[in-house]
Structure 1
């Protein structure tokens, strides 16, 4: 298992000097003390990931920490938006068709994984992929929807598939 390159003393010093500031920074953006505390903790936990290199002295530690925290904050907001959209879709379903709480959690995790996989993909290939996979549209219908040729849709789908395969290769 790879070892983190961040020394314990560097991390402890960084935590002691900047944790309170980071917590305040996150709290101002969220106005949710518990979530701000979780994200501040997650920011420092990111520094313990394998392969993370942290110099003994950072020139701008707050900029470094806020960059990491900002990414976590964006992920938090995306998760909230996706969860709200999922719950809104469930709300229009008859209660008898609602999945169990466990199934809802699993579905939400799956939706988040799909969202993460498609994150780095350009807009049109992502739309083409979603129209094909979620809406079940054929290439001709997708071409009409996007205002492009079927050949371009094939290209978009190939880009999307290659993107997913690369991510899958990175995860393996």
Structure 2
């Protein structure tokens, strides 16, 4: 049997043995049966997308780790979507985007949040102060109590991180 077939068989066995448990674990955290079912499926899809199957001594701990990341992403997306919808509600109806434009904007916000989550907190804060708030490096340094050199290095790091996220090798 090939490595890929062996991997699929192992994931199939893992699915049969632990899917019900994982679905229940997710349902208790999300209070939504359908969302729990979706995230349980997504957890196993993540396993299928891996090139190799890892040796699982504690399969439930491994599945929990993957599922927890998916739950965090779910709540992050919900928070971004809620903030976006609240902002839209404060605007006159004539300026409201179409449902398609809303969906595209929410997807873009989720992707931006994902990319920025990979940055250390101070680097992310410096990047956001520069790019969103429009502050100069000097003003950022004054606000955060760091030198302009620290701000410059953080911006280089943030830009390099964003570039790698957008254009992976």
Return the TM-score normalized by structure 1.
0.89
Give, in angstroms, the shift of residue 4 of structure 1. 5.2
Is 1:80 the counterpart of 2:78 in the alignment? yes
Give, in angstroms, the shift of residue 6 of structure 1. 5.7
Q: How does 1:46-125 map to 2 (within 5 A)?
A: 46-55=46-55, 58-125=56-123
Give, in angstroms, the shift of residue 96 of structure 1. 1.4
- Structure scoring higher RCO (CA < 8 A, sep ≥ 6) equals 1
Contact preservation (8 Å) 1:4, 1:49: no
Match of 1:26 in 2: 26
The SS at the match of 1:41 is: helix
Task: Name stretches of at least 5 consecutive residues in structure 2 with no aligned partner.
Answer: none
Contact preservation (8 Å) 2:137, 2:151: yes
CA offsets 1:133-161 (integer angstroms, 9 cap, x no match): 11222112222222222222111111111
Return the TM-score normalized by structure 2.
0.90
| In 1, Cα distance between equivalents of 2:93 and 2:145 | 39
Aligned match for 1:137, one of 109, 123, 135: 135
Task: Name stretches of at least 5 consecutive residues in structure 1 with no aligned partner.
Answer: none
The SS at the match of 1:51 is: coil
